[in-house]
Structure 1
Amino acid sequence: MKTVAITQRVDIIEAYNEQRDSLDIKWGELFTTLDAIIFPVPNQIAILSTFLETITPDAIILTGGDSSVEYGGRFINRDVTDNFLIRYAINYDIPLMGVCRGMQSIVSFFGGTLKKINKHIAIQHQLTGVINREVNSFHSLGIKTLPAELLPLSYSTDGTIEHIKHKIYKITAIMWHPERENPFKLKDLDLIKKELEL
């Protein structure tokens, strides 16, 4: 069974004065379907190296949830974790896939920029390009400038880039949320399995 390191969002639980890492349980269900096991990554830079050495992941997922601090998010530790994992994937030649915020992190890591966009939250929309079908959408930021080493693969009807891939590294990303589909879409499962080499 393949192992997948998967990032978590940061939540503040005010009633308990706690900051928690959290992950939608649907991710566990999705990867169980793909005969893989997930290891949620703590947003604690001090232990990331030891954590990754211990689990030796076969693949990495950067999940959605909140924005980077540069674009209005609140948690720099999440940004640091995403960047650390991208470097780790490059250094160890491990497949990495970004989902929504994860795609935005990849774009920013390689020097691209983002912008506010409209009508992309809680809707279904059609994509064209490598992916030519309807997908969900839950994001308020889109790509403004795409770094030269990242290839745009699929677009929404308003021209927003929704799917990218690195020209050299095993890095790909999508803006929709496969884990939020019920049931999971076979084409999403096939894409994840292929890109993460599961």
Structure 2
Amino acid sequence: MASQARRAAARPCVGVTGSAERLSPSWLAIRSALFLVGARAVRITVRHPLAPEQLDALIVSGGHDIHPGLYGSQELPDKEYDLARDELEQRCIRLALDQRLPLMGICRGYQLINVVLGGTLFLDIRKLRRNTSNFGTVLPRKDVLLEESSLLHRLTGKRRLRVNSLHYQAVERVGANLRVTGVDRDHFVQALEPLDNRPVIGVQWHP
């Protein structure tokens, strides 16, 4: 038991924000991926309080749309919003940035990092697409072109990635201290990183 406790304590502790639903596929997938690379995942939702002193890094996961009021737009009809989650994740992102924790945003999480830093979103890009499909898929069927100077390029060793696509919103105005490091064939932003080389990555797809 003591050796197990020591091994657990030695693993980096990664906070994972997300939906408070009991069986969250996103949480289960991210937790499993972190376990496989030797990290310990800690769930953070409105039902699972944030314990910032425990965290070595933070992942802000995907989910429902961010409330458009956070970036000066109007609600879309018949859309679900989770204001409590929006508030919690904004606090988590600010905490990670203030403490310079490694931070990753996935889909909604990447969009929220942009919004927290003063950026905006396209409410719906489906009628704006010309070269990419509106068909959502978990399979890697969309091309993303990465900047050669990006952390993503250094990590993957690739200029072009094949990724999945489950979104109909996208980053419009880029937030303060962020730069575009990946775009799709319609030139919609697919990846963001900070200008000051902090350990932050945001991606529109689900790795």
- Residues paired across the two proteins, number: 165
Q: Which of 40, 61, 86 does residue 79 from structure 1 map onto?
A: 86
Counting only pairs closer than 5 Å after superposition, residues 119-138 of structure 1 correspond to structure 2 as 119=134, 121-122=136-137, 124-130=141-147, 131-138=159-166
Aligned pairs (5 A) from 1:151-162:
151-162=179-190
Choose the corresponding residue for 2:18, options 8, 11, 24: 8
Where does residue 90 of structure 1 map in the other structure? Answer: 97
Q: What amino acid is aligned across from residue 55 of structure 2 in structure 1?
A: P
Higher fraction of strand: 1
Q: What's the CA shift string for 1:129-182, capped at 9, x where partnerless?
A: 23512110111101111124111001111111101001133322001111xxxx
Summarize the alignment of residues 109-124 of structure 1 with structure 2, pairs less than 5 Å apart.
109-115=116-122, 116-118=124-126, 119=134, 121-122=136-137, 124=141
Identity of aligned residues (%): 25
| TM-score, with length taken from structure 1 | 0.76
Q: How does 1:5-154 map to 2 (within 5 A)?
A: 5-11=15-21, 22=24, 24=26, 25-43=28-46, 47-48=49-50, 51-53=51-53, 56-70=54-68, 72-115=79-122, 116-118=124-126, 119=134, 121-122=136-137, 124-130=141-147, 131-154=159-182
1:67, CA displacement in angstroms? 0.9
Measure the CA separation in 2 of the matches of 1:60 and 1:21.
20
Separation in structure 1 between the aligned mates of residue 205 and residue 63 of structure 2, nearest angstrom: 12
Structure with bigger gyration radius: 2
- With over 3 angstroms needed to count, the CA separation of the structure-2 counterparts of 1:109 and 1:73, relative to structure 1, is farther
Matching of residue 172 in structure 1 with residue 201 in structure 2: yes
Q: CA deviation digits over 1:63-105, x for unaligned, max 9? A: 0011112265421111111111111112211111000000110
> Aligned-pair distance for 1:2?
0.8
CA gap of 1:67–1:173, structure 2 versus 1, over 3 A, is: same
Structure 1 residues 162 and 10: alpha-carbon distance in aligned structure 2, compared to 1, 3 A threshold = same
Give the whole-Å Cα distance in 2 for the aligned partners of 1:121 and 1:60: 26
Aligned residue for 2:172, secondary structure, equals strand
State the alpha-carbon separation in 2 of the partners of residues 76 and 100 from structure 1. 17
Pairwise CA distance, 1:44: 5.4
Q: CA deviation at 1:42?
A: 2.3
Question: Which 5+ residue runs of structure 1 have no aligned equivalent?
Answer: 12-19, 179-198
Cα contact 1:44–1:81 (8 A) shared by 2: no
More deviation, 104-113/63-72: 63-72
Q: Hey, what's the Cα distance between the residues in 2 that align with 1:65 and 1:52?
A: 22
Deviates more, 1:121-130 or 1:94-103: 121-130
| TM-score for both structures, normalised by structure 2 | 0.73
